[in-house]
Chains A and B, each alone.
Chain A
Amino acid sequence: MRLTSLLDHPFRDAYAAKFGALPGATQAWIDGLRQTARGILNTSGLPGPRVEAWKFTGLGDVVKIPFLPSSSAEDIDVREIPLGVPHIPGARRIVLVNGVLSAELSDAVNDPPGLRIGTLKHYLAREPQILKPILGGLASSGSYPMAALNTAYMSDGLVILADKNFPGSTLHIISIGAAGADPVAFHPRHIITLAAGAQLNVIETHIGLPGQSYLSNPLTEISVGENATLKRYVMVAEDNDAFHLSTAAVALAAHGTFEAFHLVVGGGKVRQEVAVAMNGAGATCRINGLYALTGKQHHDLTTVIDHAVGHGTSSQLVKGVVDGQSHGVFQGRIHVAKDAQKTDARQLHKALFLSKGPEVDCKPELEIFADDVQCAHGAATGEMDPNHLFYLMARGIDADTARAMLVSGFLEDAIATISDELVRAAFSDLVQSWLKRRAA
């Protein structure tokens, strides 16, 4: 019998005792969301190999690990920000340990006027009406299996609210994963809203303590208002024993802009799903990314861009290099709704093999219901172009140096899509140090 779902997952029983203690338990609407999510988990389980969107990322190994809720691991004690976290000049650092805000490690500064940052717990207790329209509204448990898991067990997270015409600020959210003696799981829930005309840069670094096994299952719901611009740059450098399964659901209003970059240089099994609903006319969405995998690493970037109305523009460039026995996956669906005329949607995925042994799977998908559109996707996998190599060698550059230059160039081409200069420089450094580690 082929598996359609993984009903026997470790979250069924380990968490049962915690339900009453989860934040918002006394509020009917939150309780309702959790009940629905648990219902879905109980009947559908975690996605198995026959769930189309999870075809290339199996969770057979995840369900075998008895993850404990991270709050029950008493011995987690993180005193400093790990090495490997990029320095972004001028960015305010907000540190989470297993999804819980660490005031001690975070920069102690006041929120600038027009920007409010707080914890999910705080907002659930004090101002739930702010969360109501978004929480569970953008990422429903029925649409995303990991959203169901997150909603059922979310215990905290960040709420970031930018007021109308907020002129801009750069936040660096450093999410540290740590386990004690036993593997743990955490399900942070973040809400980011930008009112009309607001600007915000959010950098997320997901990093783990070495040798520790944990499951990070963050879910971020993002609302970008009219003419607002959110730039979200995500760097995943989890430990090789860590699982990272994240979901981000974005709603874009008219003429809003969402720019994302996903850089993956670490993690045992990483799957990132980003779904963008382009609800307002004239919106712009850019999702670019880069993965560099070695050993037995697995990475899956799944994007869904829904052009619900016309005159929207979306572009995606995702590049990957794979070494060892790693496994790279890119799935990208572009949906253009009926009457979403004048849509311009483009997508390109390229993967470069650095050795014998890795696997790359790609599923770009166009789903078009409007005729006056320009939509295109491309995908290419293979080894280095011998013509490129020859050109460099014909200029006197030796083969090893030429290869290194070409791999670097292949990756930098993706990095170049990052519009924020400081982040571009920082991410470029991360790529270069990945290349140096590999060469060493």
Chain B
Amino acid sequence: MAATAKTVETVRDVEAYKYGFVTDIESDLAPKGLSEEIVRFISAKKNEPKWMLEWRLKAYRYWLTLADEEPTWAKLHFPKIDYQDSYYYAAPKQKVGPKSLDEVDPQLLETYKKLGIPLLEQQILSGVAVDAVFDSVSVATTYKKKLNELGVIFCPISEAVQKHPELVQKYLCSVVPVGDNFYVALNSAVFTDGSFVYIPKGLRCPMELSTYFRINEKNTGQFERTLIIADEGSYVSYLEGCTAPQRDENQLHAAVVELIALDNAEIKYSTVQNWYPGDKDGKGGIYNFVTKRGACRGKNSKIMWTQVETGSAITWKYPSCILQGDGSVGEFYSVAITNNHQQADTGTKMIHIGKNTRSKIISKGISAGKSSNTYRGLVRIQGKADGARNYTKCDSLLIGSTCGAHTVPYIENRSPTAQTEHEATTSKIGEDQLFYCMQRGMTQEEAVSLIVNGFCKEVLQTLPMEFAVEAQKLVGVSLEGGVG
């Protein structure tokens, strides 16, 4: 028992948030609050065409009707958000868009350096193109030329609205309708930027596309909007990673991500999320309400979500797949770690519509401190999805007796030839495992980190190499000062 007691002790004693620093940049702020004026302001600021403004206004008006429809079904507790007490637009000051890194605010570049994302080095060393988003406006885009030559469009969505309106109009909100939920309607009205990706027919995108997000401005709602289209026979791997500065006040983050995979296309979307989780007393921290959904529209298409969720005070996130095309495949791999007063309610939805569609769900939840960690997932097999298959495995690990781990799967099958299989377990780190490692000379923290990494291995190994390393570190860091 001594080992457990000590583990609990160390989990409670969390070290200061590692990435807690604040960049001091003057912001171009819209006044606090949300109104039709603000929506118009954002649209004007972005120089948007009329159709886009109309679209935003429609979303805003719809959002107003949802005033009482803020989702309450998740196992999350937080004070009611005053949507009029937030800023909806903040942009770093710039005269004109930067043509090269030299033109980028050096303070910004310094911030990235602290985060371990030196743009130049990344370009050279890893060949990763970074569309770095600072707050809501893109400030630097690299590797654009090379991608251009291949016919890949990888740009801020605001730019896509200007340059590729036909694609945006065709696909935006085609997976996640404006009225899907409260946060989607809100995002649709006020989103300021995000990424847009189009991979042309038959192209296997040779580099991982990444975007690093960062919340910076005080009290700024962050409403990212991402749209990725993989045309027939193409492949793309997209990485999204977040770290955020320490804050006292809660910050709302309500991103919307839509993926579309056409015939034989494959999209791999990987996230490492480490927003500021609040301090050890549960003060501050990001509220993360994310809607991520992919449509496997074409036959034999595939969408794979991998997420490592270690941050945020509140996580509400269900990256999902709509398996429309015959033979399409959806996969969801998740590690969610909660500590202190963090609350996570995350999982996925796999909607089987086409024949011989397959889905796989692997979820690993680790709860420590006074946190609450919920897996919530839906597997729905529609009547015409002959031969559909689902396999789901959800494992939870509890560290200490003051946290909670919950599993809420919904399985709905209407096809006799479909097979669904679900298993879930909840347990703690075995005393014998800990003892075994420590007998071999590891400290308890090392042992816990090793065991937890092993527990998550099935998920972590699906990440692209450069992300896997970061994710393993994050698992360690989340439990470091925590456990190891």
Contact = CB atoms under 8 A, between A and B. Distances in A.
Contact of B418 (A372, A374, A375, A382): A382
B42 to A, nearest CB: 31
Contacts of A371: 4, 398-401, 403, 428
A405 interface: no
A378 B405 contact: no
B405 A368 contact: yes
A373 B383 CA distance: 38
Interface stretch (A72-80, A353-361, A394-402): A353-361
Contact of A376 (B73, B412, B425): B425
Interface string B400-411: 111111111111
A338 B396 contact: no
B411 A365 contact: no
Nearest to A382: B419
B422 interface: yes
A366 B401 contact: no
Nearest to A378: B423
A362 interface: yes
Contacts of A372: 4, 401, 428
B103 interface: no
Given A339-B401, A371-B401, A381 B423 contact: no
Contact of B404 (A362, A369, A375): A369
A366 B422 CA distance: 13
A221 B49 CA distance: 66
Contact of A377 (B405, B407, B416, B428): B407
A370 interface: yes
Contact of A358 (B401, B403, B416, B428): B416
A379 B420 contact: yes
Given A366-B396, A375-B426, A355 B416 contact: yes
Nearest to B429: A371
B401 A338 contact: yes
A420 interface: no
Given A359-B413, A360-B413, A376-B425, A381 B420 contact: yes
A366 B73 CA distance: 16
Interface in A40-94: 52
Contacts of A375: 425-427
B293 to A, nearest CB: 21
A383 B417 contact: yes
Given A52-B73, A368-B396, A380-B421, A356 B406 contact: no
Contacts of B422: 362, 364, 377-380
Contacts, number: 121
Contact of A368 (B406, B410, B415): B406
A363 interface: yes
A247 B141 CA distance: 62
B414 A359 contact: yes
Given A52-B73, A381-B420, A365 B408 contact: yes
A356 B384 CA distance: 10
Interface in A319-376: 338-339, 341, 351, 353-376
Interface string B417-442: 11111111111100000000000000
B344 to A, nearest CB: 14
Interface residues of A toward B: which range?
Answer: 35 or more
Most chain A CB neighbours (cut-off 10 Å) among B404, B413, B420? B413
A364 B420 contact: no
B420 A380 contact: yes
Q: Is the interface of B mostly helix, strand, loop or mixed?
A: strand
A376 B407 CA distance: 10
A358 B4 CA distance: 48
A349 to B, nearest CB: 9
Q: Is the interface of A mostly helix, strand, loop or mixed?
A: strand
A366 B413 contact: no
Contacts of B407: 364-366, 377
Interface in A291-323: none
A371 B401 CA distance: 5
A355 to B, nearest CB: 6
Contacts of B73: 52
Contact of B409 (A358, A359, A374, A379): A379
A367 B419 contact: no
A436 B56 CA distance: 62
Contacts of B413: 351, 353, 359-362, 381-382
Contact of A362 (B402, B411, B423): B411
Given A380-B420, A383-B416, A383-B419, A363 B404 contact: no
A361 B414 CA distance: 8
Contact of A373 (B415, B417, B420, B427): B427
B419 A366 contact: no
Nearest to B412: A361
Contacts of B402: 338
B424 A364 contact: yes
A353 B381 CA distance: 13
Nearest to B405: A368
Contacts of B419: 380-383
Most chain B CB neighbours (cut-off 10 Å) among A351, A354, A361, A369? A369
Given A359-B414, A361-B412, A372-B401, A367 B406 contact: yes
B416 A356 contact: yes
Most chain A CB neighbours (cut-off 10 Å) among B417, B420, B424, B426? B426
B394 to A, nearest CB: 9
A381 B426 contact: no
A63 to B, nearest CB: 24
Contacts of B420: 379-382
B401 A341 contact: yes
Interface of A: 52, 338-339, 341, 351, 353-383
7 contacts: A360-B413, A361-B413, A362-B422, A365-B407, A367-B404, A369-B401, A380-B421
Interface of B: 4, 73, 383, 396, 398-428
Given A369-B404, A381-B419, 11 more contacts: A338-B401, A361-B410, A362-B410, A366-B396, A366-B426, A368-B404, A370-B398, A371-B4, A377-B424, A378-B421, A383-B416
Closest 6 CB pairs of A and B: A382-B419, A353-B416, A371-B398, A366-B407, A375-B426, A362-B411
